[in-house]
Structure 1
Amino acid sequence: MSDEENKFPGENNTGHFWDDDLRELDNEPPTWWTIGFHASWIFVIVYTLLYPSWPMIDTHFKGLLGWTSIAEYKEDLKSIESVRAPYENKIKDMSAADILADDNLSKYVTASGKVLFGDNCSACHGAGGQGNVGFPVLADDDWLYGGTITDIETSINVGRQGIMPGHAAMLDDEKIDALSTSIFEGKAVENASYTEAGCIGCHGADGKGLSFMGSANLVDGIYRFTAADQLSSIKHTIKYGVNNPADSQSRIAVMPAFGGAKLSDTEIKKLAVYVHKLGGGQ
């Protein structure tokens, strides 16, 4: 377009106009933008030459530096393990009780045990050991199998699976209701059915349970199977029992064993110390 036809002569425009004065200019981009543009494609070329990038038929271009994320991970892991080594070497030959008694080792094990707890225990027992529906609290002082560091270590190592028979065939509904109410009120041993049904054999003459059997304390108001209607929950347990394979309505209460191939002896000791220090260890 000649300058005579251009409505804006001397202006660096393309000669395209809309609505009389709206036009397209033909200026060079700013210098900073040009520098950035060229720097970006140069960076891409250098990066793809130095690091793994282009796919090939059976492999990929591995980069001039030979860098891999796996190699970097192993290098970082090696540096972390070198820091942990003095502690790990010590606790390997110590008992969980000795670790708990050593303040420095106990702090170290608590930190690493938190990760183990999150990976293996928190799904059932909660992130802080507060328990979930159907699973015991680990942060109180009520333990079915004892709360000493040795008891806790044994529970983690070999697992726990108690058993309680259902009493629906032995006690009628009236007696079950009465016994449930007595347990709910903390007066289990005062009910005649407590002895008649043989509860005394597992829960003891005082109703406080026997830790070597994993039988519950029936007089402390703390329940293995919590519910909004706790009295009805107690009745259900008395009627159908716990871990009774012959009754589909029986309570299921099984803790798997973590010893053997699942966790190492050192990891089990760490977990035992961590659980003990949650606040409920004896």
Structure 2
Amino acid sequence: MSEKQIDELSGVETTGHEWDGIQELNNPMPRWWLWTFYATIVWAVAYSIAYPAWPMISTATTGLLGYSSRVDVKNELAAAEEAKSAYVEAVSAKSVGDILADPELRQFATAAGSAAFKVNCIQCHGSGAQGSPGFPNLNDDEWLWGGNIDQIYQTIAHGVRFAGDEETHVSEMPAFAEVLEPQQINEVAAYVASLEGQADTPDLVPAGAQVFADNCAACHGEDAKGNKEMGAPDLTDAIALYASGQAAIAQQVRHPKHGAMPAWGERLGDVKVKELAIFVHSLGGGE
């Protein structure tokens, strides 16, 4: 048995460990620390017996108290569903117009629609409903298919150019590259750009006005203000769904892009579509 080594300065026994001439003193842990450590061990054992703790093949030990945080969450969700059931039933029974007229129900539908929008709509329209190229901004007051509450509901429920719904909005601008001469396309593009004050070749505008009257006014109107029944956009404002400027207009005339929107009625159900319509209408651009 080796002889104990005592540190000369402190008079404390060493552990026998030494690093670079520095010896470790064998100072015991404070009693209060040891008892606290032992208490945590006892607490851990008691906790694992009282509460779910030990994993098994397909579940875990349930614990003597039978507590489950999953059950708590399930009960809380059930209570929340029960609390809002009266509002959901009211939304189901009323038209979107009647929901708007009821301040309390409108507030509920707006909040529920906001949540549904974040799950189903931001992928195309953006988290702030500001839109992106090819997807309309829902905050302004420019509506391809109408912006009153019934029209918004109709658009969400049945979509746009959605093959799986017989009531979907349908319109399609022809590819005028097969109808007009290249010079005529440049002329009408100059005319449409001039309506926004962006014509690159003003000398083509007069001829373009005649091309527009002969080929475009039937859908977009003689004043180019658009036609919501046909989904034809207003060409006199500065709002462009795909791109702005004379060159972009000419390209759209040649080979138009046609966006599509799913019919959400069958996917989400009538209640959720009503809530989405109320929320979109509340963004500020609803008619």
Shorter-chain TM band: 0.7 to 0.9
Match of 1:179 in 2: 188
Q: For 1:185 and 1:222, how far apart are their aligned partners in 2?
A: 14
Match of 1:223 in 2: 240
Residue 235 (str. 1) matches residue 240 (str. 2)? no
Q: For 1:58 and 1:18, how far apart are their aligned partners in 2?
A: 50
Residues 6 and 13 of structure 2 are in contact (CA less than 8 Å); yes or no, is this contact kept in structure 1? no
Q: Scaled by the length of structure 2, what TM-score is found? A: 0.84
Match of 1:244 in 2: none
Q: For 2:9 and 2:159, how far apart are their aligned partners in 1?
A: 91
User: How much does 1:39 deviate?
Assistant: 2.6
User: Taking structure 1 as reference, are residues 70 and 59 closer, same or farther at Cα in structure 2, changes over 3 Å only?
Assistant: closer
Match of 1:246 in 2: none
Residues 144 and 214 of structure 1 are in contact (CA less than 8 Å); yes or no, is this contact kept in structure 2? yes
- What secondary structure sits across from 1:16 in the alignment? strand
User: How much does 1:6 deviate?
Assistant: 3.8
Superposition map of 1:29-108 within 5 A: 29-57=29-57, 59-108=59-108
- What secondary structure sits across from 1:191 in the alignment? helix
Q: For 2:19 and 2:176, how far apart are their aligned partners in 1?
A: 94
User: How much does 1:9 deviate?
Assistant: 8.3
Runs of 4+ in 1 over 6 A off after TM superposition: 187-190
Could you tell me the percent identity over the aligned residues?
35
Residue 111 (str. 1) matches residue 111 (str. 2)? yes
Structure 1 counterpart of 2:261, one-letter code: M
User: How much does 1:2 deviate?
Assistant: 5.0
User: How much does 1:281 deviate?
Assistant: 0.2
Residue number among 263, 268, 272 corresponding to 1:257 in the alignment: 263
Question: Which stretches in structure 1 are left out of the alignment for 5+ residues?
Answer: 242-250
Q: Scaled by the length of structure 1, what TM-score is found? A: 0.85
User: How much does 1:14 deviate?
Assistant: 2.5
Q: For 2:15 and 2:30, how far apart are their aligned partners in 1?
A: 22
User: Taking structure 1 as reference, are residues 20 and 11 closer, same or farther at Cα in structure 2, changes over 3 Å only?
Assistant: farther
Superposition map of 1:8-23 within 5 A: 8=8, 11-14=11-14, 16=16, 18=18, 22-23=22-23
Q: For 1:32 and 1:6, how far apart are their aligned partners in 2?
A: 26
User: How much does 1:20 deviate?
Assistant: 9.4
Answer with 131-140 or 24-33: which moved more: 24-33
Match of 2:165 in 1: none
Structure 1 counterpart of 2:259, one-letter code: A
User: How much does 1:69 deviate?
Assistant: 4.0
- Per-residue CA deviation, residues 71-108 of structure 1 (Å, 9 max, x unaligned), is 22211112212332332232221111111111121122
Q: For 1:11 and 1:65, how far apart are their aligned partners in 2?
A: 53
Match of 2:137 in 1: 137
User: Taking structure 1 as reference, are residues 33 and 78 closer, same or farther at Cα in structure 2, changes over 3 Å only?
Assistant: same
Question: Which stretches in structure 2 are left out of the alignment for 5+ residues?
Answer: 162-170, 197-204
Match of 1:279 in 2: 284
